[in-house]
Structure 1
Amino acid sequence: MPAAQTKDDLLAVSAKEFAKLQSLMVTVPSDVATQSIEENWSIRDVLVHRAHWIDLFLGWYADGQAGKKVAFPAPGYKWNQLAAYNETVLAQHADVSWEDAQVRFLAAHDRWIKLVSGLTQEALYGAPMTGGNNNWTCGRWAEAAGPSHYRSAAKFIRTCLKQASVGR
């Protein structure tokens, strides 16, 4: 799927992918949500991860706007260390319940919507994101943190639900 090129398209794809994900989330039984199913990840883990990455993006944007050094992807980590970083994130949030994971994710999505809705077309797509150290625009980073992650989370949940139904 091609990346959005306009604010309206970004908000539309976000609404579409968020609705798909949310409709799946409400079907997930609590016991299934916390089962490690694929590569030791659970549905709960995926939502915690997605909420965390939305907040990373929001932090990158805020730091860039403030003229601070942007830590991509996170302080002390390089892009080739994502697997180790993600494991750290999951370990730090291991005690989060399924219900709290959903609340955190929904709150992160709301923060994402608030930022993107408040930015102009120019701020989203006019130039590379300040502090981004590459050519991606703020809109492209926003899409990676939001709708692209929603799409992959929905795919993961569908896979997990299929596996869980076979085991029941």
Structure 2
Amino acid sequence: MSSVPQSKEALIQAIETIFPKLMADYRSIPAHLARERGVEGNIKGTQISVCDTVAYLIGWGKLVLKWHRLTAQGQPVDFPETGYQWNQLGLLATHFHQQYNDWPYGALLTELEHTVHEILALIAGLSNQDLYETPWYQQWTLGRMIQFNTSSPMKNMRTKVRRFKKANGL
């Protein structure tokens, strides 16, 4: 399988392949360690918690859903998010961490699962043409924008979370 999905089926497969593995890793981390810093952050030289990695994935997933909802309603979209430019993704990541800072670990995992299921339902309801044969944002297709913000960061976070687990003897 190509590392970059080129079709609706490949996009679904990419998410459905990485997500259960990531969730298994998250579930193997005890809640008392989930807020400890020790995961490489999105801003060079920073350390974040496992909970922050979950918040990051929820944040981007919800943005994808928001972008699609606004576009479908004919509303303008502030990419990547209102108040943030593409060159401020580290700040946006920090915003996501803060947004979910008070959530218990289990609730974060449930929210991530819900968000991913919403994204998979969105993909299922779209045609391959909607996803990969029509420019959606600048030169990017909707399928590529979804992949940039789901399966790709899931793989990246899984690598970081597995390093954290190893460092903590899990």
TM over 0.5: yes
Q: 4+ runs of 1 displaced by more than 4 Å?
A: none
Q: CA RMSD in A?
A: 1.4
1:80-135 per-residue CA deviation (whole Å, 9 max, x = no partner) reads 11112221221222111111110110010111111001111111011111xx2x11
Q: Which amino acid aligns with 2:149?
A: A
1:43-58 to structure 2, matched below 5 A, reads 43-58=50-65
Q: Which amino acid aligns with 2:126?
A: L
Structure-2 residue corresponding to 1:29: 30
Paired with 2:72 and 2:64, the residues of 1 have a C-alpha distance of 12
Paired with 2:116 and 2:70, the residues of 1 have a C-alpha distance of 19
- Secondary structure (helix, strand or coil) at the match of 1:55 reads helix
| Aligned mate of 2:160, from 134, 156, 164 | 156
Structure-1 residue corresponding to 2:151: 147
TM-score (norm 2): 0.90
| Unpaired stretches in structure 1, ≥5 consecutive residues | none
Structure-1 residue corresponding to 2:134: 127
Q: Which amino acid aligns with 1:105?
A: L
TM-score (norm 1): 0.91
Q: Which amino acid aligns with 1:88?
A: H
Contact 1:51 1:105 in 2 (8 A): yes
Structure-1 residue corresponding to 2:96: 89
| Unpaired stretches in structure 2, ≥5 consecutive residues | 40-45
Structure-1 residue corresponding to 2:17: 16
- Secondary structure (helix, strand or coil) at the match of 1:77 reads coil
Paired with 1:13 and 1:24, the residues of 2 have a C-alpha distance of 17
**Post-superposition offset of 1:2:** 3.4
Q: How many residues align?
A: 163
Percent of paired sites with the same residue = 24
**Post-superposition offset of 1:40:** 2.9
Paired with 1:150 and 1:89, the residues of 2 have a C-alpha distance of 15
Structure-1 residue corresponding to 2:141: 137
| Aligned mate of 1:108, from 111, 115, 132 | 115
Structure ranking higher in strand proportion: 2
